[in-house]
Structure 1
C-alpha cells in the first residue's frame, strides 16, 4: 500500500510539473528584445537546416569512427547444433558404411587482426578531411542563413519605419483637414480644399493598411528563417533606423575580394584533398591485403543427444593471410586513370569558381555603389522636402500659397521618406551581398 501511494504521488507530481516545465521551456525559447545579432544567434541554434547540418556532422563522425574500428581486433563466434535425420553413407572397401553420428555441435572462436588493407589506409588518411568537409558544409549553410536573416531583419525593421512615416503623414493630413474645414466654415475657402484633404487622408490610410499587412507577411518570413515558434507573437526588434543607418558606409567600396576567404573555395580545396587520396587508394590496389588470425574451435559428437556435450574435441589454429589479386582485366589501370582525371577536373573547378567569385564581387560592388549613391541622394531629398513643406505650410496659413501647394509638398515629403527607407533597405541588402562576395560574412555571432 505504501509503495502504491508513493507511486501515485510521484505520477501526480509529474503530471502537474510537466506542463509548467514545458511552458517554461517555450517561454525561454522566445526573445524579449531582438537585435540583429541575437536573431542570427537564435536562427543558428533553432533553424531546421542548421540542425540537420549538425546532425549530418555527427553522422559523418560516426561513419569515420566506424571505418577506423576495423583496425581493432575483430572477434567472432560461430556456433551450431544439428541432428542428422539420416546419417550420411559412404563406400569403404566396396562396402557401404555410415559416416558420422546423429548429433553434433561445434563452436568456433575467431580473432582477426588487419595488418594492411587499402580501405583502412584510405579511411585513416581521409578522416580529417571528411570531417572538415562536413563542418565546412555546415559553415556554408550558416553563412547563407546569416545573409537571409539579415536581409529579412532589415526588411521588417524598415517596413515598420515606413508605417511610422505614414502615421506621421496621417496626423499631418488630419490636421490639414481640420484647418480646411475651419476655413470653409469661416467662408475663407470653398469645399474643394476639404475634399482634397479627405482624398489624401484616405489614400494615406489605405497605404498604411497595406504596409501593415505586408509587415505581417515579412514577420512570418523572418520567423521561418529563424526557426521561431509560429504560435508566438512577432519578433520584437530592438534596433531602429538610426542604428541601422550607421552601418552604411562608403568604406566598404574600398575592399577587394580574396578567393581563399570564400567557404566555397575552402570546400573545393577539401574536395581536392579527398580526390588526391582517392588516386593513392586506387594505386594501392596493387598491394596485398595482410591480416593475422587465431581460431579456436571445439566439436561435440554423440549418437545420444543427452550425452552430446559430455566430451568435446578442440582444435586451434594460428596464421597469417595474404591476398593479392594478380590479373583483373586491366580494371585497376582504368580506376587509377579515372581517379586522376577526376583530380584533374578540379583544376577547371578552381578556374570556374574564381571566375564566378570575381563576377559576384564586381556585380555586388557595382550594385552597392549604385544603391549607396541613391541612399545619399534620397537622404538629402528628405531634408529638402521637409523644408519645402514647412515653408509652404507657413505661407498657406498666411494666405500666400494655396492649399494645393501644401498638399503637393506633403505628398512629395511622404514619397521622399518612403523612398529613403526603400533605398536604405537596398543599400543594406546589397552590403550583405558584397560581404558574402568578399568572404567577410561569417557565422560567428
Structure 2
C-alpha cells in the first residue's frame, strides 16, 4: 500500500514539474510586462551576462586565494647507475649514494604583494562592473522587446482595421451592385467598389505577411522558441492613457547605466595607477620548508632512515632598476585616467543629444497623436453621414469612396501615432535612465 502511495505522489510531482516547465517556456497570453520578464529570464544575451558574472566572481576568488598560505609538496625517488665524481686532494672521488628519495613540504605566506593587493582593493569594483554590464544588457533587452511588442500590435491593429474596411467595402459593393442592377446608377460605381475592395484585400495580405516577420523579431528579442506561439494581450484604452509623460523632468546623468559604468571604469583605472605606484615597494613573503631525505645503497631499505632538514625565513624582492619601466607605467596609468575624464565629457554630450532628440520626437508624436485622434472622430462622423446620404440617393458613390478612404487613412494614421508615441516615450525614459530592471 505504501509503495502505491509513493508511486501516486511521484506521478503527481512529475506531472506538476512538467507542467511548470512547459508554462515556464511557453506564454499563453503575453502582455508587455510578461514578454519583458520572459526575455529577462530566457534571452541568450542575458544568460551569457549571468555566466559572465559568475566567471568574474570565480576570477576574483582565484586572485584573492593568493592571500592564503600556499602549501606545496615536491617528491622524488632517484637511483644512480653511476655516482658523480669529484676531484679532491689530487684524487678522483665518487660521491653520493646509489638510492635517494626526498619529500619537500613548503609553505609560503604573502605579506605584501602588489598583485594580490590590487585584487583585494578592486574586487568590489570588478563585481560592480560585471553587474552593471548585466544591468545595461537588461535595459537594452527591455527596450528592444517593448518596441518589438508595439510593432506586432501595430500590424495586428492594421489587420483588424483592414478587415473592418473590407466589411464596409463589401457592403458598399453590394449596395452599388444592387443599384446598378436596379438601373439607379451606371456600372462605374460598381467597378469603383470592386477596385477599392481588391486594393484592401491586397493590403490585408501584405500586412499578414509583415506580421509574421514582426512576430519573429519579437520572439528573437525575447529569446522565445520559434516553434512556440503566443497571443498578445493588451488593453488599447490603457495604452492610450499611458502616452502622457512628464516632459519637465530634469536630466540626471548619474541615472544612466552608461554613466555608472564609466564611474566604475575610472575607479578601476585609479586602482591600476596605485598598482603601478606600488612597484616602488618591495614584495614581502614568509616561507618555511621541511625536507625528508632518504639515502641507502640498498633500494629495499631506502626508507628505513630519514635525514631531514628544515628552515624558515622572510623573502624581500625589490627591483632596483628596470630601465625606467615603472615610471613609464605610472605615466601611462595617469593618462588613462585623463582619458576617462574625457569619456565623461563625451558621454554627457551624447546623453544630452539623445535626450533632446528623444524628447523632441516624443512631443512631435504626441502632438500628431492628439490631432489624428480628432481626425479619426471627424472621419468616422463624415463617413457615417455620407453613407446614409448615399443610400438616400443624395450623395454619389465617389463621395462614399472618398469618405471611406479618409476614414481608413484616419484609422491607420491614428494607430501609427499611438504606437509611435509609445515607442518615443520609451526612448525618452531610456535617455532619462528611468528604465530599471
Change (3 A) 1:189 1:140: same
Give yes or no for contact 1:396–1:403 (8 Å, CA) kept in 2.
yes
Secondary structure of the residue aligned to 1:111 is strand
Using the TM superposition, name which of 238-247 and 49-58 deviates more: 238-247
Inter-partner Cα distance in structure 1 for 2:216 and 2:277: 55
Inter-partner Cα distance in structure 2 for 1:151 and 1:247: 15
Find 1:238's aligned residue among 233, 240, 244.
233
Find 1:280's aligned residue among 274, 279, 287.
274
Q: 1:81 is matched with which residue? A: 77
Secondary structure of the residue aligned to 2:321 is coil
2:102 matches 1:140: no
Q: 1:382 is matched with which residue? A: 376
Output aligned runs, 1:309-388, within 5 Å: 309-388=303-382
Q: 1:107 is matched with which residue? A: 103
Q: 2:122 is matched with which residue? A: 126
Q: 1:431 is matched with which residue? A: 425
How far is 1:127 from its partner?
0.5
- 1:116-150 residue CA offsets vs partner (Å, 9 max, x unmatched): 11111111111000000000010011111111111
Secondary structure of the residue aligned to 1:40 is helix
- 1:338-385 residue CA offsets vs partner (Å, 9 max, x unmatched): 111111111111111111111111111111111111111111111111
Inter-partner Cα distance in structure 2 for 1:344 and 1:195: 74
Secondary structure of the residue aligned to 2:286 is strand
Q: 1:212 is matched with which residue? A: 208
Inter-partner Cα distance in structure 2 for 1:41 and 1:28: 11
Secondary structure of the residue aligned to 1:399 is coil
Inter-partner Cα distance in structure 1 for 2:206 and 2:436: 35
2:404 matches 1:410: yes
Inter-partner Cα distance in structure 1 for 2:409 and 2:247: 28
Inter-partner Cα distance in structure 2 for 1:442 and 1:25: 27
- 1:248-269 residue CA offsets vs partner (Å, 9 max, x unmatched): 01x4322231111111100010
2:300 matches 1:306: yes
Secondary structure of the residue aligned to 1:322 is strand
Using the TM superposition, name which of 107-116 and 82-91 deviates more: 82-91
Alignment size in residue pairs: 429
Q: 2:171 is matched with which residue? A: 175
Give yes or no for contact 1:107–1:297 (8 Å, CA) kept in 2.
yes
How far is 1:192 from its partner?
1.6
Inter-partner Cα distance in structure 2 for 1:246 and 1:102: 94
Give yes or no for contact 1:82–1:104 (8 Å, CA) kept in 2.
yes
2:88 matches 1:92: yes
The two structures have a TM-score, normalised by structure 1, of 0.93
Secondary structure of the residue aligned to 2:35 is helix
Q: 1:7 is matched with which residue? A: none
Give yes or no for contact 1:161–1:241 (8 Å, CA) kept in 2.
no
Root-mean-square deviation (Å): 1.9
How far is 1:22 from its partner?
5.9
Inter-partner Cα distance in structure 2 for 1:200 and 1:302: 109
2:188 matches 1:195: no
Give yes or no for contact 1:368–1:430 (8 Å, CA) kept in 2.
yes
Structure 2: which 5+ runs fail to align?
Answer: 1-6
Secondary structure of the residue aligned to 1:86 is coil
Q: 1:247 is matched with which residue? A: 242
The two structures have a TM-score, normalised by structure 2, of 0.95
Secondary structure of the residue aligned to 1:309 is helix
Output aligned runs, 1:50-69, within 5 Å: 50-69=46-65
Secondary structure of the residue aligned to 2:186 is coil
Moved over 4 A (4+): 17-24
- 1:378-409 residue CA offsets vs partner (Å, 9 max, x unmatched): 11111111111011101101111001110111
Q: 1:41 is matched with which residue? A: 37
Q: 1:392 is matched with which residue? A: 386
Inter-partner Cα distance in structure 2 for 1:438 and 1:108: 63
- 1:322-343 residue CA offsets vs partner (Å, 9 max, x unmatched): 1111111111111111111111
Secondary structure of the residue aligned to 2:409 is helix
Secondary structure of the residue aligned to 1:411 is helix
Change (3 A) 1:334 1:28: closer
Inter-partner Cα distance in structure 1 for 2:274 and 2:23: 54
2:68 matches 1:72: yes
Inter-partner Cα distance in structure 1 for 2:363 and 2:23: 43
Secondary structure of the residue aligned to 2:73 is strand
